[in-house]
């Protein structure tokens, strides 16, 4: 098992890294020993949290000056100054002086000879280039300088992970990628917040699903089949979600994309029978593991998700706040729902394990509109940052209150603050997380039809369902499509997509973003294994 921070190889059953001492819960890939030349780097090779501290090169002996005799060179190295031959204007020396000079010269030659043997007798310098010298000659991994370890929470930077660049619904090999097949039609259902406070996310879900369906139809992913989308509005409301579920179940849809909200999904799942439901945004741990953390059990065999679960978000954010920001004191504030409490509690657990301190822990209901008391307590605690677990509208109110009170530290939150009202109040340095978006898209190749991370997640969710339909066959039952979805595996726009026994992604690629100049910049990627 490789340590996710320093890259050290450890025994598979080890709990702590033998080099840096951190918990070995992360599946982050080890840093490669050498990077390919810049000209050959893929477009997805983007910076990760913090740049590794350069390795110090081993000290090499001072090179001899070619314009000096060996003896003088040795003396120069030994005492730091050259010894010049004395000059004289006297006449010819006497015999006794000559004898004395000869004796001294002989002794000097002997001393110089011994010194030269000591230095040169060890053999020639290693003729291999420095890169060919065994790794034992230099540190095994980057070592932080004293300045970099001033904070007790500072740790080694994480390894680089490149997000997926797959084209799951691209043209089959050897084909032109175009089809005019006019066979049967297969309907994909969709349930999401198409109106209301979260309509921005709902429109992204529509956008991503439509893009995936267009690619599948254009490239004849399932020969003779054309896919259509049947979208239903849940308004982000559980009761409306239940109504939408009943409507979709009554159609010929073979699967459902959505919902975005976990509380809506709870109402939807009991009403859809054997329909596969794959969510681009439902993040509550209980949706896949049940509500008993000590005895996890999958409550809905037909529920899958491509997003980052709440508990993984909190853990990754804690690592970034420590390693990327060098912050050791934070205050946490969460709403009372699953999402907020899980993000904050898992953040705090990981943050403390890394050596950080939670200065104050606050929990407020969603209906809170006055954050002045909470902000005062945060400032009194001398926190360097505020970690928020909650939705975008409430995040905006808290951010505005912090700014008005003169709090200058960053606000850190889960994926809910990536979009929506929070962005209007965000300040430079604020941090959030989303599932990883393809480095190809982030490097400037993002299709205009996919305008946000949620749209890309919805694309991969729809692609997974379409590939399951191809595997099961267009005439397969809903249950057969659901079972085929469990076995789907492909390279998606958000990284490798496959599912563990709970319906979560087997590997989670996440992107950490920092707010700068009115938009979210990518700070880096990180990979976490399944929590199975």
Question: pLDDT digit string (tens) for 5-40?
Answer: 445 666 766 654 455 443 444 333 333 333 333 333
Pairing mode of beta strands 411-413, 385-389: parallel
| pLDDT 10s digits, 86-107 | 334 444 544 444 455 555 655 5
Res 1: pLDDT: 55
* Tokens standing for residue 277: 């439901």
Q: Are 328 and 151 in contact (CB under 8 A)?
A: yes
Per DSSP, the three-state class of 438 is coil
Give 83-128 as a DSSP string.
-PPPP----SPPHHHHHHHHHHHHHHHHHHHHHHHHHHTT-PPP-S
Rounded to the nearest 10 degrees, what angle do helices 199-218 and 453-472 cross at?
40
Closest CA to 289 of 306, 311, 313: 311
> Does the fold of domain 311-434 match that of domain 184-309+436-507?
yes
* Tokens standing for residue 84: 């010049």
| Residue 260 to residue 281: CA distance in whole angstroms | 4
| Residue 440 to residue 387: CA distance in whole angstroms | 30
Res 147: pLDDT: 33
Superfamily of structural domain 184-309+436-507: Response regulator (3.40.50.2300)
Q: Which residues pair with 362 in a beta bridge?
A: 333
Furthest-apart CA atoms within the chain: distance in Å = 124
| Residue 518 to residue 425: CA distance in whole angstroms | 10
CA 95 to each of CA 88, 89, 98, 99: distance values in angstroms, whole numbers, following the listed order: 17, 18, 5, 6
CA atoms within 13 A on the CB side of 19: 19
Residues of the chain with pLDDT under 70: 1-10, 12-168, 170-182, 437-449, 528-532
| pLDDT 10s digits, 77-89 | 222 322 233 334 4
| Residue 364 to residue 145: CA distance in whole angstroms | 41
Pairing mode of beta strands 255-257, 184-192: parallel
Superfamily of structural domain 311-434: Response regulator (3.40.50.2300)
Res 166: pLDDT: 53
Q: For the chain, give every domain's residue range.
A: 1-32, 184-309+436-507, 311-434
| Residue 526 to residue 29: CA distance in whole angstroms | 9
Chain Cα centroid distance, residue 128: 37
Residue 338 parent element (H or E)? helix 338-353
Res 502: pLDDT: 95
Res 13: pLDDT: 63
CA 162 to each of CA 43, 47, 129, 317, 460: distance values in angstroms, whole numbers, following the listed order: 10, 9, 30, 18, 17
* Tokens standing for residue 219: 């490239």
Res 89: pLDDT: 42
């Amino acid at each position: 098992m490789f340590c996710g921070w320093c890259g050290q190889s450890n025994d598979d059953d080890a709990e702590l890294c033998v080099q840096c001492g951190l918990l070995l819960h992360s599946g982050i890939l080890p840093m490669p020993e050498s990077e390919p030349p810049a000209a050959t780097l893929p477009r997805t090779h983007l910076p990760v949290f913090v740049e590794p501290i350069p390795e110090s090169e081993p000290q090499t002996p001072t090179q001899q000056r070619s314009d000096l005799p060996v003896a003088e060179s040795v003396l120069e190295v030994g005492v730091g100054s050259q010894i010049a031959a004395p000059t004289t204007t006297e006449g010819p020396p006497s015999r006794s002086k000559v004898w004395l000079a000869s004796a001294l010269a002989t002794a000097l030659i002997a001393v110089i000879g011994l010194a030269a043997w000591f230095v040169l007798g060890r053999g020639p310098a290693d003729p291999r280039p420095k890169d060919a010298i065994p790794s034992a000659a230099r540190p095994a991994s980057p070592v932080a300088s004293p300045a970099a370890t001033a904070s007790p929470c500072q740790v080694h930077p994480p390894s680089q992970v490149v997000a997926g660049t797959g084209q799951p619904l691209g043209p089959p090999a050897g084909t032109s990628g175009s089809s005019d097949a006019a066979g049967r039609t297969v309907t994909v259902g969709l349930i999401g917040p198409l109106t209301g406070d979260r309509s921005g996310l709902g429109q992204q879900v529509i956008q991503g699903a439509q893009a995936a369906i267009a690619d599948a139809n254009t490239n004849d992913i399932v020969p003779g089949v054309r896919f259509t989308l049947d979208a239903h509005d849940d308004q982000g409301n559980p009761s409306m979600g239940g109504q939408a579920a009943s409507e979709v179940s009554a159609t010929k849809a073979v699967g459902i994309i959505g919902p975005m909200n976990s509380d809506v999904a709870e109402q939807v799942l009991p009403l859809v029978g054997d329909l596969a439901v794959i969510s681009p945004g439902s993040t509550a741990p209980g949706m896949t593991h049940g509500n008993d953390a000590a005895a996890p059990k999958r409550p809905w065999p037909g529920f899958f998700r491509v997003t980052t679960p709440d508990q993984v978000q909190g853990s990754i954010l804690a690592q970034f706040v420590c390693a990327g920001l060098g912050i050791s004191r934070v205050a946490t504030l969460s709403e009372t729902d699953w999402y907020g409490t899980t993000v904050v509690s898992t953040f705090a657990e990981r943050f403390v394990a890394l050596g950080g301190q939670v200065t104050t822990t606050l929990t407020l209901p969603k209906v809170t509109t006055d954050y002045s008391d909470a902000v005062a307590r945060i400032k009194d605690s001398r926190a360097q940052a505020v970690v928020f677990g909650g939705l975008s509208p409430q995040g905006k109110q808290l951010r505005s209150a912090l700014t008005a009170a003169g709090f200058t530290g960053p606000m850190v939150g889960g994926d809910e603050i990536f979009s929506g009202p929070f962005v209007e109040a965000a300040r430079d340095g604020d941090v959030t997380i989303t599932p990883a978006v393809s480095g190809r898209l982030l490097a400037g190749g993002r299709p205009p039809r996919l305008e946000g991370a949620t749209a890309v997640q919805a694309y991969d969710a729809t692609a997974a369902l379409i590939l399951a339909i191809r595997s099961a066959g267009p005439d397969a039952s809903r249950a057969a499509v659901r079972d085929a979805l469990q076995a789907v595996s492909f390279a998606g726009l958000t990284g490798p997509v496959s599912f563990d026994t709970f319906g979560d992604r087997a590997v989670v690629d996440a992107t950490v973003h920092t707010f700068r100049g009115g938009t979210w910049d990518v700070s880096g990627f990180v990979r976490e294994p399944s929590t199975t």
